[in-house]
Amino acid sequence: MSARGPITVLDVGGTRVRHARWSPEEGLGEVTDMPSPSRLRHPEAPLEELRGRLLAAICDAVPAGPAPAVAAISFGAALDQRTGTVYGSGPLFGDDTTPLDLPAALGALRPDVEWHVLNDVTAALLHYASGPRHHEHRKVLLLTVSSGIACRTMDLRTGTIATDPCGLQGEVGHLPAHTELAGHEVELTCDCGGPGHVAAYASGPGLRRMADVLRESAPDRWRASPLGRAMTDGTSFEEALGTALDRSDPLAAELLDAATAPVADVLRTALSLDPELDDLAVTGGVATGLGHHYKASLERHFAREGLYLTSDLTPGWPANRITVCAPGEANGLIGAGIGALRRPAGNTAPDTTRPRRPVARHYAVLRDDAGLHLTPRPTPAPAPGELVVAPLVAGVCGTDLQMLRGIRDDGAAVIGHEGVARIVAVGEDVQDPALRPGVPVVINPTHPDDDSFLLGHNVDGLLQERVLVPATAVRAGLVLPLPEVPPGVLGALVEPLAVARYAALAVTEHRPRTLLVFGDGTVGHLAVRTARRWYGPDVRTVHVHHTPAGLVWSNRAPHSADVRLLSGDLSAEQLARALGDGPLAVLIATPAPATLPCLELALEAAAGTDTVVDLVGGLPRPAASLQVPGVDLAEVRAANRAGRPQPPYVARFGTASGHKVRILGHRGVAGEHLRYAAAELCRAPERYRDLVTHVVDLPGAVPVLARLAATTDRIVSGRRLVKLAVRMGEPS
């Protein structure tokens, strides 16, 4: 390349044009997003006008400078991978297939720029295949389902993406297809003008057209369904479909299955022809947006009709190769930059060597005085007694945000203590034979005896591709093998669900009639959702929320408390009326600054009631309350640590008003709580799935965490955040 500094990377699609600055060292900068001047948006515009507006938008995105600029484009079109010549794109240019030499056209407008052009699926595949999970894979196929549909296959042993004599591969969106809906075969026209193509049914526009067919062919069912009602109320199709699927709407599931049938046919055929495909990854706005619903739909197709003989002899082998990418896991912007680095300056033909990666380095979300960065780090080899694990998914919790905001001064450069991982290397002298490479594990972040180990706080945590687990944690049994890994990204909920489990076991023998929960974060929601199973079928739940947005989210959630309140100006008298009579259990799962005010409000409202309080949230030191004078509540909370002692210590006090109250707290949980939580998430995933409201990969985590560190509203991408899951994939 003529310049080694940051590259301007662009992702050009039928609906959006995104651009940012990227370099391998600093990662992806702030992304600018704008509407695409495409045929989809301007159906009546002449072709030359569309092309001119698009070329201008691309050129305007590349800043001028004293040195030659470098720009890499992930372009959503069928194009010659050798030269960058665009043959056609239904979403961008409709049915026109007049070749466009895109590098030459851009070079004529901006000769000061070194242009690199890649097909958007090629770019996404380059990023996806660069992750550590693919080190031992032979081949990977990436299929994108967005405003258009296409796929690419890479041989990871050579790093090559094979092409035909036109420089094309994987234009599966224009293969002939068929599907049925409401009992009838559907015939639709593709955006390219051809009848009955895969994209006609399965692309984003195709899925909306399928919804129109269903609305017209089954009007009564449509009007009665959550999907139909939401769209009648003015909800956008994408939001209405996702919400309807979350609520198990059979009409929405039927619609999705009809749209994914051609995609399943493509994947089934690919795997039949090439059994060396170790990963069939599906990405794009449609698939990624619908996430686990999209994967479940594909799995239903494979269960109904798999591979001849193979599916009978090795059940699950085909479907187990399907991955629906998390947002950012196959990022065309990053892939465009990787592609540019693989090409010599002035040459659009790809370098066919495998993407180069440092032999012993991994990526981490690092925090320092300058902020958050995606940074390569040396990957350690385990010393005697140590382990190296590869996180599969990590959760971000309230204490992580306090560290990012400077409220806590914990010193770990890499945060993250919630999640599941897989062992990749074992040091000598590790005694437990169950701790071997390939075993999925959860790590208990709190050591019962050794203050030098607190994962993600004073020891580098899980927001990285490799984590060294020190011998003190291994010897203490804090690395716990899992017989089964929670599906999807639910591993991010194992630790907070274990906290809710510990709290329930500690106070269940109190036999509360009402459970009062303060805090609308993950632990608060989990306590509410498990109350009747763990406290008894007749327990009432009262949930006090910190923000109006949190209350609105709970009001819409499929599993919410019997009584939902907003803290705001909530008085003790109002709360007392909501609590009713009988024994009361109080869980305070709030950030440290709110714990004491919530405790005092609860004790005032519960005056005279048999009450037990669990201080789940943190506390300042010392922590004193006028309701229980002379007591350091921080010491009470710290008396139970990592599941010890058993049974937990419960303090009994007289309140300032002369009533008796029992108070306990806990730092961390025991291994048995973590194992139980993981098993519970495997048993009943649908009860908890909606709590993971946002999913990103490691690069995508940086801007989200930076925003959360700078604000307190917990609104990300226009939606209330409950649990952020960072998915790092499956290591090989």
- Which residues are within 8 A (CB) of 385 and not within 5 positions of it... i.e. 6 or more apart? 427, 428, 429, 430, 470, 471, 474, 475
- pLDDT for the residue 731: 42
Question: Which runs of consecutive H residues, i.e. helices, occur in 405-547?
Answer: 471-475, 494-507, 522-534
| pLDDT per position as a tens digit, 347-402 | 444 443 333 333 468 899 999 888 899 988 889 999 999 999 999 999 999 999 99
| pLDDT per position as a tens digit, 550-591 | 999 999 999 999 999 999 989 999 999 999 889 999 999 998
40: left (phi over 0), alpha (psi -120 to 50) or beta: alpha
CB atoms within 10 A of CB 326: 23
Q: Give residue 732's identity as a one-letter amino acid code.
A: S
**What is the C-alpha end-to-end distance of the chain, expressed in Å?**
32
| pLDDT over threshold 80, residue 176 | yes
- pLDDT for the residue 345: 42
Q: State the DSSP string of 517-564.
A: EE--SHHHHHHHHHHHHHT-TT-EEEEEESSHHHHHHHHHSSS--SEE
Q: How far apart are CA 390 and CA 465, in angstroms?
A: 6
- Which residues are within 8 A (CB) of 483 and not within 5 positions of it... i.e. 6 or more apart? 679
Which among 55-64, 97-106, 455-464 has the top mean pLDDT? 455-464
Work out whether strand 660-665 and strand 611-615 pair parallel, antiparallel, or are unpaired.
Answer: parallel
* pLDDT, greater one: 134 or 679: 679
- pLDDT for the residue 314: 84
State percent of the chain over pLDDT 90: 71
Q: What is the C-alpha radius of gyration for the chain, rounded to an integer number of angstroms?
A: 27
What mean pLDDT is predicted for residues 425-453? Answer: 95
State percent of the chain over pLDDT 70: 95
| pLDDT over threshold 70, residue 316 | yes
Long-range contacts from 237-243, C-beta under 8 angstroms, 24+ separation: 237/208, 237/211, 238/289, 241/207, 241/211, 241/290, 242/289, 242/290, 242/293
What are the tokens at 502?
A: 């510990």
Nearest by Cα to 680 from 501, 423, 552: 501
- pLDDT for the residue 200: 95
Which single residue is written with the structure tokens 């003015």? 234
Q: How far apart are CA 526 and CA 330, in angstroms?
A: 31
| pLDDT per position as a tens digit, 646-680 | 999 999 998 888 889 999 999 999 999 999 999 99
Nearest by Cα to 610 from 516, 505, 499, 523: 516
- pLDDT for the residue 732: 33
What are the tokens at 399?
A: 């204490």
The pTM of this model reads: 0.57
Mean of the per-residue pLDDT values of the chain: 90
Which single residue is written with the structure tokens 């209350």? 551
Angstrom CA distances, 599 to 467, 572, 630, 697, stand at: 37, 11, 15, 37
CB atoms within 10 A of CB 175: 15
354 burial (CB, 10 Å; 0-12 / 13-18 / 19+) is: middle
Phi, psi (5° rounding) for residue 377? -130, 155
- pLDDT for the residue 348: 45
- pLDDT for the residue 244: 95
- Which domains are delineated in the chain? 7-128+331-341 (3.30.420.40), 171-275+285-324 (3.30.420.40), 361-482+701-727 (3.90.180.10), 495-671 (3.40.50.720)
Least confident range from 129-138, 521-530, 606-615: namely 129-138
Least confident range from 2-16, 96-110, 228-242, 403-417: namely 2-16
**How many helices and strands (H and E) does the chain possess?**
24, 33
DSSP E strand stretches across 44-166: 69-75, 78-79, 85-88, 100-101, 113-119, 139-145, 149-155
316: left (phi over 0), alpha (psi -120 to 50) or beta: left
Which single residue is written with the structure tokens 């489990």? 501
What mean pLDDT is predicted for residues 327-335? Answer: 92
Q: Helix crossing, 250-273 with 204-217: angle to 10°?
A: 130
Count Cβ neighbours within 10 Å for each residue of 570-603 and write b for 16 or more, e otherwise: eeeeebbebbeeebbbbbbbbbbebbbebbbbbb
| pLDDT over threshold 70, residue 344 | no
* Cα 262–Cα 295–Cα 215 angle in degrees, nearest 5: 60
* Helix, strand or coil, per DSSP, at residue 416: coil
CB atoms within 10 A of CB 556: 12
- Tell me the HSE value of 38 on the side-chain side, using a 13 A CA sphere: 24
- pLDDT for the residue 207: 96
Question: pLDDT class for 697, splitting at 50, 70, 90?
Answer: confident
| pLDDT over threshold 90, residue 620 | no
Cβ atoms of residues 448 and 476 within 8 Å: yes
CB atoms within 10 A of CB 563: 17
- Which residues are within 8 A (CB) of 232 and not within 5 positions of it... i.e. 6 or more apart? 223
- pLDDT for the residue 428: 94
What mean pLDDT is predicted for residues 417-428? Answer: 95
- Which residues are within 8 A (CB) of 565 and not within 5 positions of it... i.e. 6 or more apart? 542, 543, 544, 545, 551, 574, 575, 578
Least confident range from 1-15, 32-46, 198-212: namely 1-15
